């Protein structure tokens, strides 16, 4: 019980502090993660600005390249030849050769000549298998599938091109336009990025992430705003970098978990150490607090538990607790202990008066046995003291002896008060009084301790007694002591059928029947009691000696 109380007190002290600590750690960690997330977003914006500047410079360079290419006289002559003979394969191959030479010189992956009305005339494109490799060649491209080409992004054969165009003029006459392009790649990006077309991912430099997962993650993103993603079990931030028109959009990504991992790891170690120290302090404080609460309560409970075993409720004499409520509990307990003690003393006094009344009521039925129970009680108490029995045992034997003949209440007066000797049948009736006494005491709470003295005080050492025929130490010591004291008082007091014996003669009979009717050890103690103790109980008898009778016959 105390263990459970101590555990509850400890938990009441410890759990709130632990919850507060965990909540504080969680809130601080979330705050730091939010701060790091803001830093990552700022870094992405700066990266976006840098990329935009790179693209701006690239556009300027491409414009310069395009202007130079647009002024190429050989290319202009080839365009005029192709315009004059559009069905001529030779003219078309001439223009394709010029475009190939121009593209190799300037490093383009795609070149297209269109008529003033926008109709494609000739084009070359770098071979897909060789693109990006040293020594790759530009090859003629079938322009039948090309419907128009402007600035921005376009797709050919599953490949994405970044395209720009410039008009080609000759003496204020527009000969057509030149479109050049490069395969779109992510080599210039230092961070992960994706290219979307009408909301669907078509290019990505995220290794190991399928387009289906990317499309599912970007489904909730607005094209022109930041958005948070969850990819491969990690949190990401995405920002729009550049829009190319025609539904093409370039977005950059940043792994927030990876960016915050170093700081989160440091924070985790820091707070783990602080948490360990705080938990240790909380544990010590909680243990001290629980002990402060439980210790005085445990002392009170211990007193109550001992009271349950002993029947005595002692006052609490410990040092008063510093806790007001527990101090009040101790004061209330002490007041209750005093009340119980007083009530017990009053009950014991009433109980003793009741016992005395029972003994007096019994003795009042027979003028010859008047005072017999009280004398046997005093003699038994003297023997118990001479045997050095405990005070509680002496008191139990004293009261048991006082009640030893209580069963005679159930014996008819015609038998109990008969003048002269009893017949065998009448003696059998008298022999029932120990059993009647046991039944009387069994019905009264608090008198069960005296049943052995009442029921068994006529058991003999050799087993010839009644009502159970017990031998030797089978009979409790209470009954064995009362048996000797009862026999002595019966022999030394007058009865209706004989005169009382002298003290000396009674002792002779006790010695004679020691080991057969009486416990020899108790007889040895009894006969060695001071004479004044014995004669004070029964009075010295000077009557003439009569023939000895069996002790059974003279027992009370």
Q: What is the pLDDT of the chain when averaged over all its residues?
A: 78
Pairing mode, strands 152-156 and 200-204: unpaired
**pLDDT at position 475:** 96
Residue 464 has pLDDT above 90, yes or no: yes
pLDDT digits (tens, 9 = 90+) for 25-79: 677 767 776 776 677 667 666 666 666 565 555 554 566 666 777 777 888 888 8
Predicted TM-score (pTM) of this structure: 0.44
Count Cβ atoms below 10 Å from residue 395 Cβ, excluding itself: 14
Residue 255 has pLDDT above 90, yes or no: no
**pLDDT at position 518:** 96
Cα–Cα nearest to 143, from 201, 96, 213: 96
DSSP 439: H
- Note the helical H segments in 107-230: 211-218
Give the lowest-confidence range in 82-86, 127-131, 282-286, 336-340: 127-131
Q: What is the largest CA-CA distance in the chain?
A: 181
Which residue did the predictor score with more confidence, 479 or 292? 479
Give the lowest-confidence range in 236-240, 346-350, 453-457, 527-531: 346-350
CA distance linking residue 219 with residue 340, whole number of Å:
81
Residue 542 has pLDDT above 50, yes or no: no
* 441-447 mean pLDDT: 80
Residue 19 has pLDDT above 80, yes or no: no
Cα–Cα nearest to 489, from 503, 468, 478, 477: 503
| Residue written as token pair 């150490």 | 273
For residue 118, how many C-alpha atoms fall within 13 Å in the half-sphere facing its CB? 5
Alpha carbon of 412 to those of 402, 428, 544: distances in Å? Answer: 21, 13, 32
Which residue did the predictor score with more confidence, 389 or 165? 389
Give the lowest-confidence range in 58-67, 221-230, 351-360, 369-378: 58-67
**pLDDT at position 75:** 82
Q: In what order do the strands lie in the sheet with 159-170?
A: 138-140, 120-126, 110-114, 173-183, 159-170, 152-156
Which residue did the predictor score with more confidence, 289 or 335? 335
State what percent of residues in the chain have pLDDT above 70: 71
Beta carbons within 8 Å of 465's beta carbon, 6+ residues apart: 458, 459, 517
Residue 291 has pLDDT above 70, yes or no: no
Beta carbons within 8 Å of 390's beta carbon, 6+ residues apart: none
pLDDT band at residue 373 under the 50/70/90 scheme: confident
Alpha carbon of 218 to those of 103, 153, 159, 196, 200: distances in Å? Answer: 37, 20, 22, 10, 8
pLDDT band at residue 470 under the 50/70/90 scheme: very high
DSSP 495: B
Residue 383 has pLDDT above 60, yes or no: yes
pLDDT band at residue 525 under the 50/70/90 scheme: very high
Residue ranges and CATH numbers for the domains of the chain are 71-183 (3.30.450.20), 365-554 (1.10.3210.10)
Q: Are 381 and 396 in contact (CB under 8 A)?
A: no
Residue 322 has pLDDT above 70, yes or no: no
**pLDDT at position 434:** 94
> Helix %, strand %, coil % for the chain, to 5?
55, 15, 30
Handedness of CA 442, 409, 348, 396 (dihedral sign): negative
**pLDDT at position 552:** 45
pLDDT band at residue 540 under the 50/70/90 scheme: very low
Handedness of CA 462, 464, 465, 469 (dihedral sign): positive
Which residue did the predictor score with more confidence, 548 or 439? 439
| Residue written as token pair 């070359």 | 124
Residue 308 has pLDDT above 90, yes or no: no
**pLDDT at position 515:** 94
Residue 382 has pLDDT above 70, yes or no: yes
**pLDDT at position 280:** 77
**pLDDT at position 8:** 62
Residue 463 has pLDDT above 80, yes or no: yes
* 191-212 mean pLDDT: 84
Residue 438 has pLDDT above 80, yes or no: yes
CA distance linking residue 450 with residue 478, whole number of Å:
8
Q: In what order do the strands lie in the sheet with 193-197?
A: 200-204, 193-197, 248-255, 234-245, 227-231
CA distance linking residue 531 with residue 324, whole number of Å:
62
**pLDDT at position 500:** 83
* 246-254 mean pLDDT: 82
Alpha carbon of 201 to those of 141, 193, 207, 235: distances in Å? Answer: 26, 10, 14, 19
* 100-119 mean pLDDT: 84
Q: Which two tokens stand for residue 202?
A: 């078509």
Residue 390 has pLDDT above 90, yes or no: yes
Residue 4 has pLDDT above 70, yes or no: no
Residue 235 has pLDDT above 80, yes or no: yes
DSSP 265-331: HHHHHHHHHHHHHHHHHHHHHHHHHHHHHHHHHHHHHHHHHHHHHHS------SPPPSSHHHHHHHH
């Amino acid at each position: 019980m105390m263990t459970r109380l101590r555990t509850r007190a400890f938990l009441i002290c410890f759990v709130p502090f632990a919850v507060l600590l965990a909540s504080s750690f969680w809130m601080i960690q979330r705050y730091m993660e939010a701060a790091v997330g803001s830093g990552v977003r700022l870094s992405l914006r700066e990266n976006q600005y840098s990329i935009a500047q790179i693209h701006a410079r690239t556009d300027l360079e491409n414009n310069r390249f395009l202007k130079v290419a647009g002024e190429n006289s050989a290319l202009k002559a080839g365009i005029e030849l192709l315009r004059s003979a559009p069905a001529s394969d030779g003219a078309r191959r001439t223009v394709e050769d010029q475009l190939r030479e121009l593209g190799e010189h300037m490093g383009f992956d795609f070149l297209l000549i269109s008529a003033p009305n926008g109709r494609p005339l000739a084009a070359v494109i770098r071979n897909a298998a060789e693109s990006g490799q040293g020594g790759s060649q530009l090859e003629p491209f079938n322009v039948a599938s090309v419907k128009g080409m402007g600035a921005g992004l376009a797709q050919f054969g599953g490949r994405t091109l970044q395209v720009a165009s410039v008009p080609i003029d000759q003496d204020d006459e527009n000969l057509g336009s030149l479109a050049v392009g490069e395969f779109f790649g992510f080599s210039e990006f230092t961070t992960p990025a994706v290219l979307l077309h009408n909301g669907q991912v078509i290019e990505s430099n995220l290794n190991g992430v399928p387009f289906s997962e990317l499309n599912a993650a970007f489904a909730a993103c607005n094209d022109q705003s930041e958005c948070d993603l969850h990819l491969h079990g990690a949190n990401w931030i995405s920002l729009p970098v550049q829009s190319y028109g025609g539904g093409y959009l370039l977005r950059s990504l940043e792994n927030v978990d990876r960016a915050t991992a170093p700081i989160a790891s440091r924070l985790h170690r820091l707070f783990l150490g602080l948490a360990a120290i705080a938990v240790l302090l909380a544990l010590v404080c909680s243990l001290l607090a629980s002990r402060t609460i439980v210790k005085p309560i445990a002392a009170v409970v211990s007193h109550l538990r001992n009271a349950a075993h002993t029947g005595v409720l002692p006052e609490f004499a410990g040092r008063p607790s510093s806790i007001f409520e527990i101090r009040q509990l101790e004061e209330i307990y002490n007041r209750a202990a005093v009340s119980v003690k007083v009530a017990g003393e009053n009950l014991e006094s009433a109980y003793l008066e009741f016992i005395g009344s029972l003994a007096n009521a019994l003795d009042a039925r027979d003028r010859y046995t008047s005072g017999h129970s009280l004398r046997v009680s005093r003699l038994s108490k003297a023997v118990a003291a001479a045997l050095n029995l405990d005070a509680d045992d002496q008191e139990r034997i004293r009261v048991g002896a006082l009640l030893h003949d209580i069963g005679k209440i159930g014996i008819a007066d015609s038998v109990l008060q008969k003048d002269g000797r009893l017949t065998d049948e009448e003696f059998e009736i008298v022999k029932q009084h120990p059993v009647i006494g046991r039944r009387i005491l069994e019905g009264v709470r608090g008198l069960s301790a005296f049943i052995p003295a009442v029921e068994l005080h006529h058991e003999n050492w050799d087993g010839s007694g009644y009502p159970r025929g017990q031998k030797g130490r089978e009979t409790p010591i209470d009954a064995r002591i009362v048996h000797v004291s009862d026999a002595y008082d019966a022999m030394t007091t007058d009865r209706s059928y004989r005169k009382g014996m002298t003290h000396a003669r009674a002792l002779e009979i006790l010695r004679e029947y020691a080991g057969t009717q009486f416990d020899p050890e108790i007889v040895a103690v009894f006969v060695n009691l001071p004479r004044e103790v014995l004669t004070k109980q029964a009075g010295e008898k000077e009557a003439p000696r009569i023939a000895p009778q069996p002790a059974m016959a003279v027992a009370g």
